[in-house]
Structure 1
Amino acid sequence: MIENLYRAIEDRTEELVALTSDLIRFPTVNPPGEAYTPCAEFIARRLSAGGFQTLFMRGEGTPGDSDRYPRTNVVARKEGRGPGPTVHFNSHIDVVEAGEGWTMDPYAGLVRDGKVYGRGACDMKGGLAASIIAAEAYIAVNPGFSGAIEISGTVDEESGGYGGVAYLASKGLFSKPRVDHVIIPEPLNKDRICLGHRGVWWAEIETHGSIAHGAMPFLGDSAIRHMGAVLHAFEKELYPALDRKQTQMPVVPEGARRSTMNINSVHGGQTEDFFPGLPSPNVADSCRLVVDRRFLIEEDIAEVKGEIVAILEGLKKKRPRFDYAIRDLMEVLPTMTDRDAPVPEALAGAIRQVFGREPDYVISPGTYDQKHVARLGHLHDCVAYGPGILDLAHRPDEWVGIDDMVESAKVMAIGIGALLNGAARPAT
């Protein structure tokens, strides 16, 4: 039976490549959320032809949703001939902007030297295509299967996933009894199983000042200088403390096995809309800074926030006229699925069969849509597994290997069988 499954996938190699290229040709750039609807409709047509029932769900009212840029998601379901569990493959269809530095058209889906190139090839349209081929091959070899197989193409993962998986999870589409097992084909390498991710807290800090003439700054109070004191305190106090925090989570790469914080942006003083003229001479009365704090499963979110608030409060006590406001933008707790849960166990067995070696178990340094499946769907039998090299994501000349997609599709197809047939340990 395994050989028949392998052959069914290998026979679909050209189809897999063509499907990946076709998906890349939809410039589903986020922001603002372009081409979501035509891409979702393309996926629906493909899966409907194979007997899947398809459902479109727009993430109405979610960030960025509008009639011009609707947050269009598609969910396809294929019922088996008898009752049983549901295995769901979830892929995001949005991609980041192409950026500079490409040596080819980022939306052409070019095939060359055993690779498919284009924005989203690796992250994660190659994984979506592999999951579709895996499901279709499994159904062709096992037409009498019991249970159900679902495939979804969802939006906005690159900007938090609120119009995609979060919206669907809030409507019950990632919860029992509808769904039992979830595989997210993010590009974490074909022989690795990603059990979860670090936590994230985004916050905006604003320092306040008083506007005055730039020739007489002593009559005002510079919010930018106050923010400079914040940055200095971060360098002196916070960053060394973060470097000392280590985790037992198998985060990759190695440098992410500690707490980190990135200064995402700083905005102070006048806007730059004076170009091509000159700015007026003003002391800045406001400066805003966005922090991207990634934290470990050993840390408490209150502690994470408290470290920054303590620095700000300390400055307020010792720095004349210092005042600030802080606003939460997003918070997601760390998550890590047990490696002996049904999905990782099924995929581990498949990796052993396809590659003849034990899988690596890793944790992602950044979050992905597993966070919403866990926190809103309350479904914890979920991991990321898919083809592609994560380091290529968001970079110029992004690509996914054809052999990698074929081998990952084999792993996915074997995993489907193990989960539908109860070969993996039942969820508790």
Structure 2
Amino acid sequence: MTSQQQVFDAIDARRDRIVEFLTEFIGIPTENPPGRAYPEGAAFLEQALNARNYDVETVPVPQDVVAEHYPDRAEYPRTNVLGHREYGDGPTLHFTGHFDVVPAGVDWTRDPYDPVVEDGKLYGRGASDMKSGIAASLLAVDALEAADVDLAGTITQSMTVDEETGGFTGLGYLVDEGYFAETDYCIYTECFDSTRVCLGHRGVLKFEVTAKGKKSHGCMAHDGQNAITAMQDFLGRIEEYRETLHTRTTDLPVTPPESRHADISTTMIDAGYSENVVPDRCTATFYRVLVPGESVSDARSEIDARLQATQEATGAEFDYDEIMFAEPAEVPRECTVSQTVATHVERHHGDVEFVVSPGSDDQRFVVNDGGIENCIVYGPGLLEQAHVEDEYVPIDEILTAAKVMAATTIDLLGETEPN
């Protein structure tokens, strides 16, 4: 039997190699939207898995499936990448993470796609969210191999697209196509820092509403019907709804604690042509957050009731268009993978924090659609670094997370008995 310290030493010995790997990986600008450089990202990961002797499978997403979810981006090819290592007939552990990143923006003090290391931190877009998570799970298995650990099960690594815009053609597609059918345990390596075990997330419903009025000259407003005025009625009902939602709380450890309630926000408004024209269109966009225990279908019904009331009150016609939804997800703190990861987090940090994410992520596909209870979120990187300028990940975070992943792998899959 190999000692855990041998595995940990193998991880520490690969510090420079994993920084080199991650530097090249971050340098590929896999921005979403729209899905830029996905082929280059997939090819890089395919090569990395082949170099490690995984059985590699690339899964292109059919264009009609992409068009169903992202009609304005269907011309951008999308490919998910999987690698399998079968050691024995024991359980299967599936590490999964996404390789798309949000657009870098313009306010960086460094080139977001020319990563640099400063003071033990690696800077670049995707450093925390979440290319370091993919690097950590690869590093964990590299170290197990280097230490000659004889595992008794199977490891799968999957790297997916489009999490930043809903994940439907990424992890959602893999779950729909049966790639998780044989999975016993799953670790989604999203950034939450290496001291935390994430048990689930809140849900979201993004939608827009358009009020339809009648255009007229501003000096003859009586000839028109002002769509902005009609929208004001609906916005008032949304504010009342928001107050109601704030009374719907959860006892789950959503972090930060201020996010432990349902919510709705008006996030964008578009109306008007000129200062002297009564507008016949006003479109508002909304972001409805659901706590575990709520459902998207119930949220739709509540919104529709308020929309119907506004139409009756104003006489205006309204259109409802859904942008994206994600059901809440949660798993028990007592599930095997959660407790196993927590044990090893405590050994490295002295304590562990169980949390629930304030926003949605791809865990829901595995838990809700795949029916796999033993699925938690654990990875390096800092949640507060996600989507910000000058994003970074502490290199020690990657190494610690890899050690937790490696030790967890041994416990979950077991080791073969020597002959």
TM-score for the superposition, normalised by structure 1: 0.91
Give the whole-Å Cα distance in 1 for the aligned partners of 2:160 and 2:313.
49
Q: Which residue of 1 aligns with 2:177?
A: 171
Q: Which residue of 1 aligns with 2:25?
A: 23
Q: Which residue of 2 aligns with 1:3?
A: 5
Give the whole-Å Cα distance in 2 for the aligned partners of 1:350 and 1:388.
17
Q: Contact conserved, 2:91 with 2:184, CA < 8 A, in 1?
A: yes
Give the whole-Å Cα distance in 2 for the aligned partners of 1:106 and 1:327.
34
Q: Contact conserved, 2:112 with 2:124, CA < 8 A, in 1?
A: yes
Give the whole-Å Cα distance in 1 for the aligned partners of 2:295 and 2:188.
26
TM superposition shift of 1:135? 1.3
Are residue 289 (structure 1) and residue 295 (structure 2) matched? no
Q: Which residue of 1 aligns with 2:42?
A: 40
Give the whole-Å Cα distance in 1 for the aligned partners of 2:91 and 2:336.
11
* Secondary structure in 2 matching 1:249: coil
Q: Structure 2 counterpart of 1:21, which letter?
A: T
Q: Structure 2 counterpart of 1:180, which letter?
A: D
May I ask how many residue pairs the two structures share in their alignment? Answer: 408
Q: Contact conserved, 1:98 with 1:119, CA < 8 A, in 2?
A: yes
Q: Contact conserved, 1:297 with 1:334, CA < 8 A, in 2?
A: yes
Q: Which residue of 2 aligns with 1:199?
A: 203
Give the whole-Å Cα distance in 1 for the aligned partners of 2:26 and 2:387.
14
Q: Which residue of 2 aligns with 1:426?
A: none
TM superposition shift of 1:302? 4.2
TM superposition shift of 1:263? 2.0
Give the whole-Å Cα distance in 2 for the aligned partners of 1:133 and 1:229.
55
Q: Give the one of 398, 404, 423 matched to 2:397.
A: 404
Give the whole-Å Cα distance in 2 for the aligned partners of 1:312 and 1:40.
43
Equivalent positions of 1:67-82 (< 5 A) are: 68-80=75-87, 82=88
Larger mean CA deviation between 140-149 and 254-263 belongs to 140-149
Q: Which residue of 2 aligns with 1:133?
A: 139
Give the alignment's Cα RMSD to 1 decimal.
1.8
TM-score for the superposition, normalised by structure 2: 0.93
Q: Give the one of 368, 378, 401 matched to 1:385.
A: 378
Q: Structure 1 counterpart of 2:264, which letter?
A: M
Q: Which residue of 2 aligns with 1:351?
A: 345
Equivalent positions of 1:101-112 (< 5 A) are: 101-112=107-118
Give the whole-Å Cα distance in 1 for the aligned partners of 2:133 and 2:304.
41
Q: Which residue of 2 aligns with 1:325?
A: 319
Identity %: 36
Larger mean CA deviation between 92-101 and 281-290 belongs to 281-290
Give the whole-Å Cα distance in 2 for the aligned partners of 1:74 and 1:86.
17
Q: Which residue of 2 aligns with 1:340?
A: 334
Q: Give the one of 254, 257, 260 matched to 1:254.
A: 257
* Secondary structure in 1 matching 2:150: coil
Q: Give the one of 14, 17, 25 matched to 2:16.
A: 14
Equivalent positions of 1:266-277 (< 5 A) are: 266-270=269-273
* Secondary structure in 2 matching 1:215: helix
Give the whole-Å Cα distance in 2 for the aligned partners of 1:125 and 1:297.
28
TM superposition shift of 1:305? 2.7
Q: Which residue of 2 aligns with 1:307?
A: 302
Q: Structure 2 counterpart of 1:352, which letter?
A: E
Give the whole-Å Cα distance in 2 for the aligned partners of 1:150 and 1:245.
38
TM superposition shift of 1:68? 4.7
Which segments of 5 or more consecutive residues in structure 2 lack a partner in the other structure?
A: none
Q: Which residue of 2 aligns with 1:211?
A: 215
Q: Contact conserved, 2:110 with 2:390, CA < 8 A, in 1?
A: yes
Q: Contact conserved, 1:95 with 1:120, CA < 8 A, in 2?
A: yes
Larger mean CA deviation between 92-101 and 213-222 belongs to 213-222
Q: Structure 2 counterpart of 1:325, which letter?
A: D
Give the whole-Å Cα distance in 1 for the aligned partners of 2:39 and 2:297.
39
Q: Structure 2 counterpart of 1:161, which letter?
A: G
Give the whole-Å Cα distance in 1 for the aligned partners of 2:275 and 2:295.
45
Q: Contact conserved, 1:32 with 1:64, CA < 8 A, in 2?
A: no
Give the whole-Å Cα distance in 2 for the aligned partners of 1:136 and 1:38.
23
Q: Structure 2 counterpart of 1:27, which letter?
A: P
Which segments of 5 or more consecutive residues in structure 1 lack a partner in the other structure?
A: 271-278, 423-428
CA offset digits 1:33-69 (Å, max 9, x no partner): 0111111111111121111011111122223486752
Q: Which residue of 2 aligns with 1:228?
A: 232
Larger mean CA deviation between 65-74 and 283-292 belongs to 65-74
TM superposition shift of 1:201? 1.6
Q: Which residue of 1 aligns with 2:124?
A: 118
TM superposition shift of 1:180? 1.6
Q: Give the one of 53, 57, 60 matched to 1:58.
A: 60
Q: Which residue of 2 aligns with 1:184?
A: 188
